[in-house]
Structure 1
Amino acid sequence: MTDISWLTARPIAHRGFHDQNKTRWENTLSAFDAAVGRGYAIECDVHLSADGVPVVFHDDTLERLTGRQGSVHEVTAAELAQVTIGGTTDHVPTLAEMLARVRGRVPLVIELKGIQGKDEGLVAAVGRALADYAGEAAIMSFDHWLVRQFAEQAPGIPGGLTAHGRTTSDLEAHFAMLAHPISFVSFGVMDLPNPFVNLVREKLAMPVITWTVRDEWGRKVTSEHADQMTFEGFEA
């Protein structure tokens, strides 16, 4: 099994080390620079643009972060490069641009954001972007259909399941994903502890990171029931 101890070695800045979108916005090169400067690992989100380029952006639609109408998958990467975030000078970066900026200085945890019918080729495109990347990087997704593609379309890259919930149906769906070759789990801190995470850590010896820790309670729950936190809103 590939050694991914680096995944839990340091706190993970949620969407980079932003300042709650006051002056340094989420998933921007400025937020990634700030995380690198503090030695934090970085979590970020990736969609496909209209021309099939992985771009770093959380939402399906542009409005909250850019003030512009429309969906990410309707706009080309070149057009997104001209779109500014939150009235700052930061633009929507491509994954390749983000990788060139970080340059392997801290680990990356990349969440693939699926839109069924619009995300064909997303896993393969991210896999190609990471194939020659010299730094430590992992991929993960909430979307089970994407996770099922990880081993074939992004070979050699640690893949994880992003998840939340504590109902029986939630947990059964998560247990079913253990039939696929995942390397770690990212679980919502608000839903810990639970039998799924307990089994993943204790029986499968698989690392678990939490999302999103915003206070001391979340930090405490992470220390008791997981291996590292994805955090925002404070210095870790």
Structure 2
Amino acid sequence: MTDLSWLTARPVAHRGFHDMNKTRWENTLSAFTAAAERGYAIECDVHLSSDGVPIIIHDDDLKRLTGQDGFVWQRSAAELTALKVGGTSDHLPTLQEALDLVDGRVPMVVELKGIPGRDEGLVARVGKMLKRYKGKAAIMSFDHWLIRDFPKHAPGIPAGLTAYGKDLKLIEAHFSMLAHELSFTSYAAGDLPNPFVSFVREKLKMPVITWTVHDQPAIDLTFKYADQMTFEGFEPDLVKVA
């Protein structure tokens, strides 16, 4: 089994170390710089531009972050990277820009955001970038159709299922994804404990990180039932985390 101790060694900054979009916005080069300077791993979200470039942004539409109308998949990488985030000097970055900036200083956890009919090539392009990358990096997704492509199009890259829920139907769906060479899971902290997380952690010895941790109760759940947290809105090194 691949050693993934680096994935859980340090807290993971959700969309980088931002300040809840006051002056340093989520998923920007400024947020990634701040995380790397503090030694936190970085989680980021990736969509595909109209010309097939992985762009770091959480939402599929542009309004909340850039004030523009329309969707990420409707615009080219050049058009997207020209857009400023939250009225700051930061622009929407490409994944390659973020990798070049971080340069192996801290681990990168890249969440792939699927858009049915608009995401062909996303896994392959991200996989190719991470294969060349010299630092520690992993991929994950909520989207089962993308996860099914991970072994073929991103071989050798640690792969995770992003998940939530406690009800039986969701838990069964999560178990079905274990057929696709998963290396870890990222689970909603508020939905711990549950049979899926207990099984993968105890029986498969698979690392479990949680999302998104904002307060002490979520910290406590994480370190009782999982291995590390994806956090935002505070600095873990300054609070009790276990």
Structure 1 partner of 2:75:
75
How far is the alpha carbon of 1:175 from its aligned partner?
0.8
Tell me the distance in 1 between the aligned counterparts of 2:206 and 2:31: 29
Tell me the distance in 2 between the aligned counterparts of 1:205 and 1:81: 40
Structure 1 partner of 2:132:
132
Matches within 5 A, 1:112-123: 112-123=112-123
Q: Which amino acid aligns with 1:67?
A: G
Tell me the distance in 2 between the aligned counterparts of 1:92 and 1:40: 21
Matches within 5 A, 1:176-187: 176-187=176-187
- Normalised to the residue count of structure 2, the TM-score between the two structures is 0.97
Count of matched residue pairs: 236
Task: Report whether the alignment pairs 1:96 with 2:92.
Answer: no
Q: Which amino acid aligns with 1:164?
A: Y
Q: Which amino acid aligns with 1:140?
A: M
5+ residue gaps, structure 1: none
Q: Taking every aligned residue pair, what percent have the same amino acid on both sides? A: 67
Q: Which amino acid aligns with 1:101?
A: L
4+ runs deviating over 4 angstroms: none
Structure 2 partner of 1:168:
168
Tell me the distance in 1 between the aligned counterparts of 2:177 and 2:127: 20
Tell me the distance in 2 between the aligned counterparts of 1:39 and 1:46: 22
How far is the alpha carbon of 1:126 from its aligned partner?
0.1
Secondary structure of 1:233's partner?
Answer: coil
Tell me the distance in 2 between the aligned counterparts of 1:144 and 1:46: 16
How far is the alpha carbon of 1:131 from its aligned partner?
1.3
RMSD of the alignment, in Å? 0.5
How far is the alpha carbon of 1:156 from its aligned partner?
0.8
Q: Which amino acid aligns with 1:22?
A: K
Tell me the distance in 1 between the aligned counterparts of 2:208 and 2:228: 7
Matches within 5 A, 1:4-153: 4-153=4-153
Q: Which amino acid aligns with 2:107?
A: P
How far is the alpha carbon of 1:220 from its aligned partner?
0.3
5+ residue gaps, structure 2: 237-242
How far is the alpha carbon of 1:76 from its aligned partner?
0.6
